[in-house]
Amino acid sequence: MAHHKSALKRIKQNAKKAEQNKHVRSTLRTFIKRVREAVAAKNDLLAKESLTAAIPIIDSAATKGVIHRSNASRNISRLTKLVNTLAQ
């Protein structure tokens, strides 16, 4: 256990930030899962709506530093390709 006042404060800050990051990451995964489920169900309209809702969430997670920007870009790209396979 930390003894210095600054170390104790840092522990509290880290715990709080970890909770916030966990919420953002959980929300991110939920939105990605919604897109994949809509594609699996072959529901073109729902898949496009889900993708439109997921993109800002993915970008937001990258901006907050929860995921790397390349990871966000890759997720958006793959989901978009997945949804576009339904249109054909």
43: phi then psi, degrees, rounded to nearest 5: -95, 100
Task: Note whether residue 40 is domain-resident.
Answer: yes
CATH of the domain at 81: 1.20.58.110
Amino acid at 52: T
Q: Encode pLDDT of 52-78 as tens digits.
A: 999 999 999 999 999 999 999 999 999
Task: Note whether residue 12 is domain-resident.
Answer: no
In whole angstroms, give the CA distance from residue 54 to residue 72. 11
pLDDT at residue 28 tops 80: yes
- Tokens 């840092």 belong to which residue? 10
Record the tokens describing residue 55, joined without a space: 């993109």
Q: What pTM did the predictor assign?
A: 0.87
Task: Give how many domains the chain has, as a whole number.
Answer: 1
Task: Note whether residue 11 is domain-resident.
Answer: no
Task: Note whether residue 57 is domain-resident.
Answer: yes
Question: Where in the sequence is the domain holding 75, given as residue range(s)?
Answer: 20-87
pLDDT grade for 1, boundaries at 50, 70 and 90: confident
